[in-house]
Amino acid sequence: MSVEPVSCTIKSPVALQIGDTVSDLSRPGVYITDITLAEPVNIQEISFKNYYTAYLTVRVQQREDGSVKWVTCLRNHCLMANPHAEAGSHDYFSIYRQQDTEWDVPAWLSTLTPVETSLDLKGLPDPETVSSSIQQMWALTEIMQASQNAASIGRFDVDGSYDVKLLSYM
Amino acid sequence: MAEKRRSGPVMSDPKAAKCETDHEFLSQSGVSALLRGALLKLVESRSEDPIGFLAEHFGHLSSEVDDGGSENLTVSRSLWHLSLSHHSQRSAFNNNVRVAYELLTQSAPRRRRTGGVRGVVYTEVLRCLCSEGGLSGASAAPLLQCIQCHDYEAVPFELFRQGVLTCSVFADYIRKSQCLYAAVARAPDRPAERALCQAVLATLQEALETADGPDVARYLEASAKISPAKLAQAMAEARPPSQQQEGPTMDAQEFEDAAAALFIARVRKVT
């Protein structure tokens, strides 16, 4: 499937601020840029060059069976890691249709016991004490393993008889 | 005690002469540096018996000055250095390991002074470390089998440090496993239930087997597996509250051996 550019009209950015535009002199933090397409089309990709925008939200107006609704495709997508620094301020960006802004939730997170379920601990050892000891045992094993990774076991020198310059037939 | 006399021009002012002599005497003989070193060692070790510690320290120093101490004496001196700080005091521990290593390499006869500490001496040091750490011969044997080396081999510094650290950490680990058994048993005169012991050790094993990856992610995942909630769940599943009768038990030694096996399985065998 080839990707072709679509002609569109890009309006100049409008500041989003509360109050009267004329009397309120403070500079706003949010600007809205309207992009109008000549005809409805399935957008696959949006490419642009950034100019000091830190976060981007994309909303799309969808037309379904005569009704019109606004859908948020992308919310607060980070373009600049630090809004007050230069990184990313002039970069080129491409946003794709399948953009996944959610980070992968590790599998083990879902196995955590929910706080609400109360377990019957009558007659069982105190989990806090047991957990504390096990955590320390785990940490000690980690210390040992970490020291092993750092050290490289070199060749053993067999008591001076293995000297390159001096062959010993002992 | 014979007093050392300075040979030199006699000063006209007796009082000033005495001060200069005292000050110069201290710096010349190196006593101020000696005392500074001794105090530093004392502070590092936080000994409960400061005077005894200082006596031992100076005793060792004076015997080190007399060259040609027996090998046993060198081993005991190096063990003393290794006992000065806990392995968690990282920089102090590393310093003491270095001092002990130098002692052991310098004590060897001149013609054999290559490559590092002699294997037989290294093995002896590790064995003594384990017993000083409270480990019985039987407990320490499987670990020593992994990390000791042949009598004739020479041990470089990094390997020496690693072996010493492993023994110290293992001693702490066994002590912790004894605390763990006591917690699972809930009463000092009763053995712990086998099902609970196995459940608890299984959670530790699972945490240890957390897959390799970025350190932070690995720590988070492992700690989630051994959180109090997870352990409560594991123990409740192993021994349901509805079960009235107590099941078979596991004695302390068997528990300790099983815990030790988990640690030793992760010790890299020295080849």
**Which is more confidently placed, A45 or B109?**
A45
Partner A contacted by B155 (CB < 8 A): yes
In the three-class reduction of DSSP (H, G, I as helix; E, B as strand; rest coil), residue A158 is classed as coil
Verdict on whether the full-model pTM lies above 0.80: no
Question: Hey, what are A69's tokens?
Answer: 């609704």
Average pLDDT of chain B, as a whole number: 83
Q: Which helix (DSSP H) or strand (DSSP E) does residue A95 occupy?
A: strand A92-96
CA distances (Å), B45 to each of B81, B93, B162, in order?
10, 10, 21
Q: Which residues of B touch A106 (CB under 8 A)?
A: 217, 220-221
Residue A135, CB-side half-sphere exposure with 13 Å CA sphere:
17
ipTM of the complex: 0.79
Please answer whether residues B114 and A159 qualify as being in contact, where contact means their C-beta atoms are separated by less than 8 angstroms: yes
Tokens 């373009």 appear where? A79
Partner B contacted by A151 (CB < 8 A): yes
Integer Cα distance of B129 and A33 in angstroms: 72
Q: Give the largest CA-CA distance in chain A.
A: 98
What per-residue string of b and e applies to A22-41 under the rule 16 or more CB within 10 Å gives b? eeeeeeeeeeeeeeeeeeee
Mind listing the pLDDT tens digit for each residue in A64-101?
A: 777 888 888 888 899 998 989 999 899 999 888 765 54
- Mean pLDDT, rounded, for B98-115: 74
For B:209-268, CB contacts with A below 8 A are 217, 220-233, 235-236, 239, 241, 259, 262-263, 266-268
- How does residue A161 score in pLDDT terms, banded at 50, 70 and 90? very low
CB A137 to CB B176 under 8 A?
yes
Nearest residue of chain B to residue A146 (CA atoms) = B162
Partner B contacted by A103 (CB < 8 A): no
Please answer whether residues B170 and B135 qualify as being in contact, where contact means their C-beta atoms are separated by less than 8 angstroms: yes
Please answer whether residues A96 and A74 qualify as being in contact, where contact means their C-beta atoms are separated by less than 8 angstroms: no
Q: Is the pLDDT of residue A120 over 80?
A: no
CA distances (Å), B13 to each of B7, B9, B17, B18, B262, in order?
17, 12, 6, 9, 74
Cβ within 8 Å of residue B7, ≥6 positions away:
none
Q: Which residues of A touch B263 (CB under 8 A)?
A: 137, 140-141, 144
Partner B contacted by A7 (CB < 8 A): no
- Mean pLDDT, rounded, for B90-113: 81
Mind listing the pLDDT tens digit for each residue in B196-214?
A: 999 999 999 999 998 777 7
Sign of the C-alpha dihedral, residues A154, A156, A157, A163?
negative
Lowest-pLDDT range of B70-74, B128-132, B146-150, B169-173 = B70-74
**Which is more confidently placed, B1 or A63?**
A63
CB A112 to CB B204 under 8 A?
no
Mind listing the pLDDT tens digit for each residue in B8-37?
A: 555 445 555 555 688 888 777 788 888 888
Q: Which of B150, B152, B224 lies closest to A108 in CB terms?
A: B224
